[in-house]
Amino acid sequence: MTKAAFPIVKEGSRLTLHFAVKLRDGSVIDSNFERSPAALTVGDGNLLPGFEQCLLGMTAGQRETFVVPPERGFGQANPNNVQVFPRTTFAADMELAEGLVVSFADAQKAELPGVIAAFDEREVTVDFNHPLAGKEVVFDVHIVSVEAA
């Protein structure tokens, strides 16, 4: 059987896959290689469009590694998403630490996570950018199965 006889990944394809998202230094952000494969339909919103673009044209059994630039992944960091709050905004007994994720409510009462970037006794700087914003990520993927759209 030739490769053309196998369904290829395209918009609307249903697939099962193993994947890992890593930083360039090899740090693993997320992976399901040690668990059951994920099932999704290309275009259903379960993966960022930049990651889905990497899958197009692949076939079952294929394994590839892609470097996804910020523009196709989690976007560039936006300096307007870094806010400074008075220390009094936070509970007096709250132990602050750089890297601590704190949940805020936006105007619509939706949860908005922010990361403590810096703090002192007067001010707390909170970064609301996605933690992977501005970073190239490595997308390692193994296609387990493909069902045609």
Name the residue ranges covered by the structural domains of the chain: 3-74+132-147, 79-127
Which CATH fold would you assign to the domain 3-74+132-147? Chitinase A; domain 3 (3.10.50)
42-82 residue pLDDT tens: 999 888 999 999 999 999 999 999 999 999 999 999 999 99
pLDDT given at position 47 = 87
Instruction: Tell me the CB-side half-sphere exposure of residue 67, using CA atoms within 13 A.
Output: 7
Low-confidence ranges of the chain (pLDDT < 50): 1-3
pLDDT given at position 1 = 46
Assess whether the region 3-74+132-147 and the region 79-127 belong to the same CATH fold.
no
Which CATH fold would you assign to the domain 79-127? Thrombin, subunit H (2.40.10)
The pTM for the full model equals 0.77
